[in-house]
Amino acid sequence: MKANVAIVQAGGPTSVLNSSLAGFVEAATSSNHYNQVVGFCNGFEGLIKNRVMHLEGLGEAQLRALKSQPGAVLGAGRYPLTPSGLSTIRSNLQLRGISQLVLVGGNGTMWAADQVAAACPDVQVVGIPKTVDNDLWGTDHSPGYLSAAKFIGEAVRSLALDLWAMRNFERVRVVEVMGRNVGWLAAAASLAQNSLPDYPPFHFYLPENSFDLENFFIRVNEHLHNYSCLLVIVSEGLRSASGNPIAEFEIGGSKVPGGAAQLLSSELRSRGIPSRSEVLGILQRANTWALCERDRQEAISLGKQAVKVLNQGKSKVMLGLPSDPVDSAEDPKVQLVELKSIAGLERPVDSRYLTESGIDPSFTAWLQNKMGEPLAEAASARQVWSIAAAQL
């Protein structure tokens, strides 16, 4: 008897979230197992309000387009999951005859997927990892992270060359990247440092370590005593020793971390140090021009393999990418991780990757290997820097 299957995109979008959807739809519609293939709209809000989009009719050109565009075509976003909401989800799935459900998202989504699986024992629930923050346990890296990391590397490299040109006017540039609770994205800026040999060392500040303003000033002054300029990379979720964000703002009635770069640049200027702030912003997760091809192919493959896992009768699991070397981005190895073992947990940057002065080169080597491709215009950037560095 054929089943009805549904998919949900939840949380913040990425450059390859639609790629996982396309892979899933391709596999599901070409399978002989399904009557209906639907997507619930706007994440868990759609599951609760019973709003769906039928996906069986998507053509080859539409699926191809999905594989290369950012965002979440079904709508994603955040929506509270309550006991009454779980009851409504169970009723809606029963009403539509849905016996298989795939949820694509980060650690909050995997926590919610575990809750849905417990509330709907007759429904197979499978998770596909998705997060630019790379803070999911159970997978070596998450689809979305490699493209965001590549964008950050290219953006920060460009900002570094610009700062070098303006160093007689602006001595410190503070660049803020995403990362509310973990610093995987901030660490990715080391790709830029690695691509500019002998550039004055960047300073990194991640949420994994508490931030002290006076120590920050001491380090800046020591650096400027030896170098003509300084590039500082900070996570938006930088926290003081008390555990509170050093800067935050309100959006949608909730306070979220952000504004650390502006705050620190202002503090530097108040102490007589010329400084400017830059915020890379939403483009980190929504760009197409710095898309990492391996990231895209892994996202597509996980979408396809979710269908395979469902048809094997498995449930209450997330598909993870193992840490073993990847032979083929189009057909990566997959490990199944129980949802209950990762639900609600955040994975910080491994302490072995963090040094007193920044990011250990082993992290940059790991990330470059996972990306499988260099930053754009890597060779020309290195040549241009070699000319500029003659002034060192």
Q: Which residues are catalytic?
A: 133
Of the candidates 182, 277, 174, 159, the residue with the CA atom closest to the CA atom of residue 238: 182
* Cα(389)–Cα(284) distance, integer angstroms: 29
Q: What is the C-alpha to C-alpha distance for residues 40 and 364, in angstroms, rounded to an integer?
A: 38
Q: How far apart are CA 195 and CA 154, in angstroms?
A: 10
Q: What is the DSSP string of 10-60?
A: -BS-BTTHHHHHHHHHHHHHHSSSEEEEEEETTTHHHHHHT-EEE-TT--H
* The amino acid at 195: S
HSE-CB at 33 with a 13 A cutoff on CA atoms is: 18
**Cα angle vertex 127, ends 337, 301, to 5°?**
95
Other C-beta atoms closer than 10 Å to the C-beta of 338 total 12
Backbone φ, ψ for residue 101 (5° rounding): -135, 130
Q: Name the one residue in this structure whose structure tokens are 């990566």.
A: 332
For residue 156, give the H/E element and its range.
helix 145-165
Q: What pairing do the DSSP bridges indicate for beta strands 335-338 and 317-320?
A: antiparallel
Q: CA 262, CA 220: separation in Å to the nearest integer?
A: 16
